[in-house]
Amino acid sequence: MKLTGSEIVIECLKEQGVDTIFGYPGGTILNIYDALYKHSNEIHHILTSHEQGAAHAADGYARATGKVGVCMATSGPGATNLVTGIATAYMDSVPLVAITANVAVSLLGKDSFQEIDIAGVTMPITKHNFIVKDVNLLADTIRRAFTIAKTGRPGPVLVDIAKDVTANEAEYERKIPKQIERSADRIKEGDIEMAVQMICKSKKPFIFIGGGAVISEANEELVKFAHKVDAPVTDSLMGKGAFPGTDLLYTGMLGMHGTKTSNFGVTACDLLITIGARFSDRVVGNAKKFAKNAKILQIDVDPAEINKNVMTDASIIGDVKVVLEKLNRKIGQLCHKEWIEEINDLKKKHPLSYEEEQLTGPYIIEELYKITNGDAIITTEVGQHQMWAAQYYKYTKPRTLITSGGLGTMGYGLGACIGAKLACPKKIVVNIAGDGCFRMNMNEIATAVRYQVPIIQIVINNHVLGMVRQWQNLFYGGRYSNTILNDKVDFVKLAEAMGAEGIRVTKKEEVAPAIERAIALQRPVVLDCEIHCDDKVFPMVPAGAAIEEAFDATDLKKD
Q: Domain locations in the chain?
A: 2-171, 189-349, 361-544
User: Rounded to an integer, what is the distance from CA 8 to the centroid of its chain?
Assistant: 31
User: Does the annotation count 173 as an active-site position?
Assistant: no
pLDDT value, residue 380:
98
DSSP H or E segment with residue 415 = helix 413-423
51 is catalytic: yes
pLDDT digits 0-9 by tens, 12-44: 999 999 999 999 999 999 999 999 999 999 999
Annotated active-site residue 16? The verdict is no
- Is the pLDDT score of 401 beyond 90? yes
Asked if CATH classification 3.90.930.12 holds for the domain at 361-544, the reply, yes or no, is: no
The CA–CA distances, whole Å, from 252 to 249, 269, 296 equal: 10, 16, 20
Q: Closest Cα partner for 324 from 204, 238, 216, 248? A: 216
Active site residue 113: yes
Q: What is residue 557's predicted lDDT score, i.e. its pLDDT?
A: 82
Q: Which CATH class name applies to 189-349?
A: alpha beta
Torsions phi, psi for 477 (to 5 deg): 65, 25
Helices (H) and strands (E) in the chain, counts: 24, 20
Mean pLDDT (whole number) for 217-224: 98
pLDDT(512) > 80:
yes
Peptide bond into 539 cis (omega under 30): yes
Q: Which pLDDT score, from 0 to 100, does residue 556 have?
A: 86
Looking at domain 2-171, what is its CATH homologous superfamily? Thiamin diphosphate (ThDP)-binding fold, Pyr/PP domains (3.40.50.970)
Which one of 51, 305, 366, 548 is the catalytic residue? 51
- Rounded to an integer, the average pLDDT of 106-110 is 91
**pLDDT number for residue 49:** 98
pLDDT average, residue stretch 344-364: 96
DSSP string, 202-238: -SSEEEEE-HHHHHTT-HHHHHHHHHHHT--EEE-ST
| Active-site option among 38, 113, 188, 330 | 113
Question: What's the chain's average pLDDT?
Answer: 97
Which has the higher per-residue pLDDT, 283 or 559?
283
2-171 against 361-544: fold identical: yes
Is residue 72's pLDDT more than 90? yes
Q: What is the mean pLDDT of residues 48-58?
A: 98
Query: Averaged over 470-477, what is the pLDDT?
Result: 96
Q: Which of 67, 127, 150, 163 is catalytic?
A: 163
Q: Which of 15, 114, 308, 427 is catalytic?
A: 114
Which pairing describes strands 2-4 and 169-171: parallel, antiparallel, or unpaired? antiparallel
- Asked if residue 559 has pLDDT above 80, the reply is no
Q: How confident is the model at residue 474 (pLDDT cuts 50, 70, 90)?
A: very high
Interval 166-203: pLDDT, tens: 999 999 999 999 899 999 999 999 999 999 999 999 99
Say if residues 402 and 63 touch (Cβ distance below 8 Å): yes
Residue 387, strand partner residues: none
Rounded to an integer, the average pLDDT of 287-294 is 96
Single out the catalytic residue among 91, 198, 253, 467. 467
